[in-house]
C-alpha cells in the first residue's frame, strides 16, 4: 500500500508540474487543485485494478 501511495504522490507532482507549465497564469490554488483531482482519479483506477486482480487470483485458488 505504501508503494501505491508513493506512486500516486509522484503522479500528483508530475501532473502539477505539467499543469503549471501549461497555464502559468493560473493561481496557486488551481495549480494544486487540478493535479489533485487527476491524482484521485488515477488512484481510484489503480485501486479498482488491484481489487479486480485480487478477485481474479481468488477465483484461481
What are the boundaries of each domain within the chain? 2-60
CA distances from 14 to 10, 11, 33, 34, 54 (A): 6, 5, 13, 12, 28
Entry pTM: 0.47
pLDDT tens across 28-47, in order?
677 677 777 888 888 889 88
Q: What is the pLDDT of residue 24?
A: 60
Give the pLDDT of residue 48: 92
> Do 54 and 35 touch, CB atoms closer than 8 A?
no
The alpha helices in the chain, defined as continuous H runs, are 2-22, 28-60
Q: Which pLDDT does position 1 carry in this prediction? A: 62
Amino acid at each position: 500500500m505504501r508503494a501505491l501511495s508513493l506512486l500516486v504522490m509522484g503522479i500528483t507532482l508530475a501532473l502539477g508540474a505539467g499543469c503549471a507549465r501549461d497555464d502559468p497564469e493560473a493561481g496557486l490554488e488551481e495549480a494544486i487543485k487540478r493535479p489533485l483531482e487527476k491524482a484521485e482519479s488515477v488512484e481510484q483506477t489503480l485501486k479498482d485494478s488491484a481489487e479486480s486482480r485480487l478477485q481474479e487470483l481468488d477465483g484461481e485458488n
